[in-house]
Structure 1
Amino acid sequence: MYKKLLLVVLSVITLQAAKAQTEKGNQQLGATFGFSTSTSNSQSYLSYNNTYTGNVKGKTTSYSIFPSYSYFIADKLDLAVGLGYGYNHMTNNPNDNNSNSDSRNYFGTISLRKYFLFDNKIGIRTGPYFTYQKTKNSYAYSSNSASYSSDNYGGGLGMDFVYYPAKNIGLAAGLANLNYTHSKNKGDTLGSSDNFNLSFVNNLQLSVYYVFGK
């Protein structure tokens, strides 16, 4: 089995009109775009007759867009809100015992972030956040189909690396995330779940900031 992954995360964020990027009264406006694709070949072992199933080729494609806005309510402290949309499409060929699926996500976040910078250039930002996400899933098998939706409420604590190499340029990358999520399903699949998660950066997702100001 092999897997190829292509991940592109492009982000152009921030229009500000003040002397320092994190000064009280500054505003940030941005949009983050994400795209990924992966392919796989797999076979399943059948222990009852000591054989393998035929080769199944899978492909997953996903993309997302996340516009955001933040306002510095104090020096090095901003309040941020964002709305986003994500789409994920997965196919399997043949799909006799495997599903083809589509997933659509609509989400919003609000966060309070404190910046800890050395010489106003490099450091971290961290703080609490709250999220809501509406997910709609559909599955198509060779003989039937199913669909369900879920409402997801959550919150947590995030931490990002931030760096301002020049007056009009800023960079950021996620470092760690601690979160709790409650999900409730509707449709063909009913039920609810609660999840705690602690994650550290395992792939680089870089945000590039353009700072417009004096």
Structure 2
Amino acid sequence: MSKVDQLIDTVSRRIQAYEAGDHAGILDPAIMADAWELLRCGALSPGRYPPKVLHVLAWYRWYRAAVLPPGERETDLQEAVVLFGLLPDADPLVMPAGVRAYLLKRTGGGMDSGAKWLERAANTGDPAALEHAVARLTTELAALPSGPVRALALANLATALRVRFDRGGDEADLEMAVRAGREAVRSCPHDHAGRARRRATPGSA
């Protein structure tokens, strides 16, 4: 079993325990550390994750938010929104109707994330998709609190801006890419191993 599969299994077992009635266990700091590590090492490439990784992390954040007091749950809700939004829209098993309705309400009726637009731009070379990616990521960042998902969005924005610079040569895009990359690094705790991965993101040097 790979390290990613081991982490998925560990976090999934905690999720299953929550669903069986052990609600307090979802707040175990050790599981949060495993979730961070899964976010770090589970990427296919910067900003791109397999659905099974997104599925586990999204539900973990969703259930954490359900247990936390109202004044402390917003960060987990925000991160669940982003992670669920990255999942394939057509699969009802990864996003049940009740969750989908909640997320649609929070995101103004749209599920097209900046990360999806960035992937589309990378796959097709479509300049309009790249503009959508920059716009969506900028909007998402305005609502995201500090944390791993914000760092991920910043890394994606740095990548999108660097690609736009490579295509258009606008120095302002390069400057913004560098700033976004540096902020992505600062968004993580100093002892978090994910910092090393984000340092390699285009525009973060």
Q: What range is the shorter-chain TM-score in?
A: under 0.3
Point out the structure with the larger helix share: 2
Point out the structure with the larger strand share: 1
TM-score by length of 1: 0.23
TM-score by length of 2: 0.23
Structure with greater Cα Rg? 1
